[in-house]
């Protein structure tokens, strides 16, 4: 096994971490900006929605489904022309943001759709009975009431994007996935590969924890609407094993 020099590795890893966060950060922002309205539209245009429109609903739903089912690596290649048109290049971290964001928009849109559907229809009715229009319903009810779920969905999107960003490394976008492949796989520097794995694990855990915490603290004051976040679900299940023990 090749011995790896820490002083050589360090700047490499710092650069890679920065690249990953840069790509994930921007693509998350774009995914949220695009996926949030798309997800809300999916709910509003559905049967029984405020803007019910079967055709629009089917079209949006189909686009989202196709984009969702596309393997990311193929999407990346397929979007190369589009990427070049936007960023002027197909190589590098800026170029990777384009397919990452476009891949994540439908993903996030579906999560938004699920979160917004959880909002009690009675609340929508209440705002309508006060004379609110559709935009009021979106602004005052759908988004704030589903906020804990939306944050949980954003966390899931970030974690998925970290995974995708590793694939983006294969087209020269840099980042932690790129290090793991170039050094760990192609140069047999196993140690370096494990370090990147560890860093990725830490980054993902931190993101997940922060997301859960934010969702939970918002949810704590909330009442019925919105699904209970993960940790509360675990707590709710706790009594079950105790009962089993008692029975045994």
Residues binding other proteins (CB under 8 A): 50-52, 120, 122-123, 125-134, 136, 140-141, 144-145, 147, 218, 221-226
Nearer to other proteins, 25 or 222 (CB): 222
Nearer to other proteins, 3 or 221 (CB): 221
- Taking the complex as a whole, the smallest distance from the CB of residue 119 to other proteins amounts, in Å, to 10
- Taking the complex as a whole, the smallest distance from the CB of residue 193 to other proteins amounts, in Å, to 44
* CB-based burial, 73-93: b 16+ in 10 Å, e otherwise: eebbeebeeebeeebeebebb
Secondary structure element (H or E) that encloses residue 230, with its range: helix 230-237
**Is residue 148 a contact partner of residue 226, using CB atoms and an 8 Å limit?**
yes
Nearer to other proteins, 184 or 226 (CB): 226
d(CA 2, CA 66): 44
Q: Which two tokens stand for residue 163?
A: 């995974």
- Taking the complex as a whole, the smallest distance from the CB of residue 110 to other proteins amounts, in Å, to 23
d(CA 202, CA 38): 31
Q: Residue 177's closest CA among 29, 23, 28?
A: 23
- Taking the complex as a whole, the smallest distance from the CB of residue 220 to other proteins amounts, in Å, to 9
- Taking the complex as a whole, the smallest distance from the CB of residue 224 to other proteins amounts, in Å, to 6
Nearer to other proteins, 83 or 149 (CB): 149
Nearer to other proteins, 15 or 213 (CB): 213
d(CA 185, CA 180): 7
Nearer to other proteins, 223 or 239 (CB): 223
Classify residue 11 as left (phi > 0), alpha (psi -120 to 50) or beta.
alpha
- Taking the complex as a whole, the smallest distance from the CB of residue 118 to other proteins amounts, in Å, to 12
């Amino acid at each position: 096994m090749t011995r790896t020099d820490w002083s050589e590795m360090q700047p490499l890893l710092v650069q890679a971490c920065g690249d990953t966060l840069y790509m994930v950060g921007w693509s998350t922002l774009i995914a949220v900006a695009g996926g949030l309205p798309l997800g809300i539209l999916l709910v509003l245009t559905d049967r029984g929605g405020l803007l019910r429109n079967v055709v629009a609903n089917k079209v949006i739903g189909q686009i989202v489904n196709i984009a969702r089912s596309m393997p990311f690596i193929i999407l990346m290649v397929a979007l190369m022309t589009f990427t070049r048109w936007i960023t002027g290049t197909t190589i590098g971290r800026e170029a990777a943001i384009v397919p990452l964001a476009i891949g994540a928009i439908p993903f996030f849109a579906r999560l938004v759709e699920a979160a917004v559907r959880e909002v009690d229809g009675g609340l929508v009715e209440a705002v309508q009975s006060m004379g609110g229009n559709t935009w009021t319903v979106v602004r005052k009810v759908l988004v704030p009431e589903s906020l804990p779920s939306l944050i949980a969905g954003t966390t899931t999107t970030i974690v998925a994007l970290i995974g995708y960003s590793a694939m983006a490394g294969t087209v020269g976008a840099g980042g932690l996935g790129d290090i793991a492949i170039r050094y760990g796989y192609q140069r047999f520097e196993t140690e370096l590969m494990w370090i990147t794995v560890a860093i990725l694990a830490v980054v993902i855990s931190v993101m997940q924890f922060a997301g859960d915490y934010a969702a939970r603290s918002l949810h704590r004051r909330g009442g019925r609407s919105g699904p209970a976040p993960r940790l509360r679900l675990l707590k709710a299940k706790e009594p079950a094993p105790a009962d089993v023990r008692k029975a045994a």
